[in-house]
Structure 1
Amino acid sequence: MTQVPVAVLAVFLVVGLRGAYAQTAPLVTPRVAQSQVMKSIDAALDERQARDWGLRPEEWTRYRQLMQGPLGVYSPNLDPLTTLGIEARSDEERNHYAELQVQVEARRVNKTLAYQRAYDAAWKRLYPGQQRVNLPGAQTLSAGNSGSGRLAVFVRADCAPCDQRVRQLQTAGTAFDVYMVGSRLDDAHIRQWATRAGIDPARVRARTITLNHDAGRWLSLGVSGELPAVVRELNGRWQRQ
């Protein structure tokens, strides 16, 4: 019987082990590895967003699932707390999300108002005596007449019904103060909207119409409903008109 050299056996053994390992070890392609990384990033992002809203991971997952259904089609920009509150499965759950949303919005309003005060102070330092939002052909606008009994009209820039309502009020000759929600304190943002909405510069000069940043006022009024909102202060309370 012919004996196989020990060195040759060792080579066969190594090759055999490598072949067995290649058959049993999972094959990780670059595409699979990239997919795993993206899943890990998405999971970390979901966890952070859930934490920002005061939600547990399973609550955030349910919110994401709800937004894939009819509610997400009808209201694609609905926030997580409102979404979960609308689709609450019990009174206790509904009350929980309502309280959580009040706390979150109160913190946001306080931070927004604090920044508005800082912005006002910075403007006075850098441009003393000069007012802010200018409409083409109009002089500058005031901070509105909140609390004077005039109409306050809360609008968004991407809201066709808001534009239509403002045009109706202007055509009727009504004096009112516009507050733009989501303006990010950007004067150019309001100017562009006012031009598109057909605000008359002469009405601005006469101060029968003023344009203002909302700066959290809409939330602070506690008036329910969608925008546009035409409200007036009556007996210390703001009411829709």
Structure 2
Amino acid sequence: MVMAQPERPATHDAEAARSRLQSSAEATLDQRQARDWGLSAEDWTRYRQLMQGPLGTYSPNLDPLTTLGIEARTNEERQRLADLQVQAEIRRTEKLLSYQRAYDAAWQRAFPNAARVNLPDSHTRAVDGNGRLALFVKDGCAPCDARGRDLQAAGASFDVYMVGSRQDSTRIRNWAARVGIDPEKVRTRAITLNHDEGRWLSLGVAGELPAVVRETKAGWQRQ
């Protein structure tokens, strides 16, 4: 006598199908992201693994090329990633400059007689006693962290602007905590913490972040 096999619940089949569909979608997304960064599937898998370790805890927003470059296993691998990052930065800079030109034109149309940027004034002492400084930083940037610590240690009053914060105040608070910004200085506004909101692009100052700038008669200048 042949025993009938028990039927599997329909919910089990549906869950299995959803799981397969999700896995397929995640694999497709990984392939696309790896391709966007010029990386192989093996590179991307290693990047994902690294971001689950200590590096991802210390710098949760570190980009894939920097992550893999820092953790490169050979000189050849390190150089390959550095070359990829240079090309990525060139493409990014070209896009930023194109957008900045469009932004400049839009600003001129909307406010033809207005100053481009109006950062807060202050009579508190800055590094060299000539006025308030603005520090532009981004998350996952060790030199940015170091610059913030140096300015605070020097007794500077300054305004921090986080580029790429996406209006997420938690990022700025986490940055301030990591850098060791004194909460009392924030309370008294000796140091202020702000979203960039396009200010960095509007300044038109060349170079990478971090950037410490001050307004002079010749315009905004890096310090």
TM-score (norm 2): 0.59
Pairs aligned (count): 176
Shift of 1:64: 0.4
3-state SS in 2 of match to 1:114: helix
Opposite residue 47 of structure 2, the aligned amino acid is Y
How has the CA–CA distance of structure 1 residues 152 and 133 changed in structure 2, closer, same or farther, with 3 Å as cutoff?
closer
**What corresponds to 1:41 in structure 2?**
25
Q: Tell me what 1:117 maps to.
A: 101
Separation in structure 2 between the aligned mates of residue 77 and residue 92 of structure 1, nearest angstrom: 25
Shift of 1:96: 0.4
Q: 1:37-76, aligned counterparts within 5 Å?
A: 37-76=21-60
Question: Per the alignment, in what secondary structure is the counterpart of residue 129 of structure 1?
Answer: coil
Q: CA deviation at 1:214?
A: 2.3
Once the two structures are superposed, the pairs formed by residues 1-241 of structure 1 within 5 Å of their partners are: 29-134=13-118, 153-156=135-138, 162=148, 165=151, 168-170=155-157, 180-182=162-164, 198=189, 213-215=199-201, 221=207, 227=210, 230=212
Gaps of 5+ in 1: 1-15, 139-149, 171-175, 185-194, 201-210, 233-239
**Aligned-pair CA distance for 1:76:** 1.4
RMSD: 4.7
**Aligned AA (2:207):** L
Residue 86 to residue 220, structure 1, CA distance change in 2 (3 Å): farther
Distance 2:204 2:110 in 1: 28
Retained in 1: the 8 A contact 2:116–2:203?
A: no
Following superposition, the deviation at residue 221 of structure 1 comes to 2.7
Aligned partners of 1:152 and 1:179 also within 8 Å: yes
- When residues 212 and 78 of structure 1 are mapped into structure 2, their CA distance, relative to the original with a 3 A threshold, is closer
Q: Are residues 177 and 107 of structure 1, via their aligned partners in 2, closer, same or farther at CA, if it must alter by over 3 Å?
A: farther
Structure 2 distance, partners of 1:219, 1:93, is: 33
Structure 1, residues 159-216: CA drift from partner, whole Å, max 9, x if none? 888499379323xxxxx897753367xxxxxxxxxx988269xxxxxxxxxx982239
Runs (4 or more) in structure 1 with deviation over 2 Å come to 130-136, 150-170, 176-184, 195-200, 211-223, 229-232
Long gaps (5+) in structure 2: 122-131, 167-185, 192-196, 215-221
Query: Within 1, Cα distance between the matches of 2:77 and 2:84?
Result: 11
Deviations 1:117-142 (A, max 9, x none): 11010111122212354568x7xxxx
Quote how far apart the aligned CAs of 1:56 are: 1.0
CA contact 1:153–1:179 (8 Å) conserved in 2: yes
Distance change >3 Å, CA 42–CA 196, structure 1 → 2? farther
8 Å CA contact 2:117–2:202 kept in 1: the answer is no
Greater Cα radius of gyration, structure 1 or 2: 1
